[in-house]
Amino acid sequence: MNIAIVCYPTFGGSGVLATELGKALADKGHNVHFITYQQPVRLNGFFANIYYHEVRVPTYPLFDFPPYETALASAMVDVVQNHDIDLLHVHYAIPHASSAYLAKKILEKQNKNIPVITTLHGTDITLVGKDKTYSPVVTFSMEESDVLTAVSENLKSETYKNFEISKEVEVIHNFVDVARFHKKPIEAFKSLIAPKGEKIIVHASNFRPVKRVDDVIKTYLLINEKIPSKLLLIGDGPERPVLESYSRKLACHNDIRFLGKQEQMEDILPIADLFLLPSEYESFGLAALEAMAAEVPVISTNAGGLPEIIIDGYCGYMSNIGDTQNMAENALKILSDDTIHHSFKLNALHQAEKFDIHNIIPKYEALYKRVIS
């Protein structure tokens, strides 16, 4: 098959999922064409059967805001026309679904019927998409997609709750390449971070309010009172400056490290003893799943789609939003006993394997064949 994938090229979950999906499809012999405004961050090498098409948006004095949606639709038309594309798979509804609809209508005028699959990822439905500024267009674009998918049952429910649509939403869960993350930790790296054998606790996110990164630090402080540990904060975003300023005032500020955005998470996660994700909402929780694939137990909230991947008391624990005391107590249950910790590590890997890329990709392939036929 010749598949065009439209996504954001950033570190966000939708872009990561779309890029990894494309790479996996290319490995299976499909031709994959990425259409976006810059090369996806996870597309950091040469891959056979993968092609990248940059959306160029001309600037004119007339435009305060360059019309990206129009340029994107034109790029889709060009790629479909010149590369015998079988279907368009757009990730994140805004603005990709509406641009795909426009491209589809242009191609129909040229007697080319191109199916469109829209995959919903989270904030395109739960936050941005339901804003009245965008809601009518998002609703229309979802209805006009040939197939609408969501990455969790929770997101499917949120879609029906926030939008009046009759279109069926199919669930295909996010996935992880277990083989990529399940590897031996680099001991030299680990000893550099924790020279006295301290426990290593990790959090990764986009540092937005919904991630509640301040709760990560609060939980860590309670853990560190009982068990010497280090905290690695991975990612970047609007909350980072405030959190860094707060951390510098703490007595243990040298034990808290802000690492910024990191592409090679498979080198960092294996050295971790615990992963914290106290989010107010997660449509799925891809960061938690990647940690579990690296044999890292997860302490999280019971928000959104997290209960779909984390089994409480088996591969981690879930608490109510904002209950840092309970999160710390659960973390100490795991970290204070090596036997229990080892059991949770193995359970985390076992649970992650259910979402392994080799189990999920065939579901997308089956969907593609059904849509094309």
The model's pLDDT over 258-316, given as tens digits with 9 standing for 90+, comes to 999 888 899 999 999 999 999 999 989 999 999 999 999 999 999 999 999 999 999 99
pLDDT above 90 (res 132): no
Asked if 2-175+356-372 and 178-353 have one fold, the answer is yes
pLDDT above 90 (res 135): no
Own/partner long-range contacts of 51-60 (Cβ < 8 Å, ≥24 apart): 51/83, 53/78, 53/79
Domain parsing of the chain, residue ranges: 2-175+356-372, 178-353
- For the segment 240-267, the average pLDDT, to the nearest whole number, is 92
Residue 317's pLDDT is 98
Each residue's pLDDT tens digit, 179-216: 999 988 888 888 899 999 999 999 999 999 999 999 99
What is the pTM (predicted TM-score) of this model? 0.88
DSSP string, 120-132: E-SHHHHTSTTST
DSSP letter (8 states) at residue 37: S
Each residue's pLDDT tens digit, 96-122: 999 999 999 999 999 999 999 999 988
Residue 147's pLDDT is 96
Return the structure tokens found at 185.
């930790």
pLDDT above 80 (res 42): no
Residue written as token pair 């510098």: 248
- For the segment 115-137, the average pLDDT, to the nearest whole number, is 81
Higher per-residue pLDDT: 217 or 45: 217
CATH number corresponding to 178-353 = 3.40.50.2000
The residue ranges of DSSP E strands in 55-135, in sequence order, are 87-91, 116-120
Higher per-residue pLDDT: 27 or 133: 27
> What's the rounded Cα separation, in Å, for the pair 149 and 82?
27
> What's the rounded Cα separation, in Å, for the pair 136 and 125?
12
Residue 263's pLDDT is 80
Residue 125's pLDDT is 76
Residue 235's pLDDT is 92
Kind of pairing between the strands at 316-319 and 229-235: unpaired
Q: Does residue 217 contact residue 251 with C-beta atoms inside 8 Å?
A: no
DSSP letter (8 states) at residue 210: G
- Which of these ranges, 60-64, 124-128, 331-335, has the smallest mean pLDDT? 124-128
**106 HSE (CA, 13 A, CB side):** 17
- pLDDT tier at 60, thresholds 50, 70, 90: confident
- Which of these ranges, 169-173, 281-285, 320-324, has the smallest mean pLDDT? 281-285
DSSP letter (8 states) at residue 356: B
- For the segment 358-367, the average pLDDT, to the nearest whole number, is 95
Residue 188's pLDDT is 83
- pLDDT tier at 129, thresholds 50, 70, 90: low
CATH superfamily of 2-175+356-372: Glycogen Phosphorylase B; (3.40.50.2000)
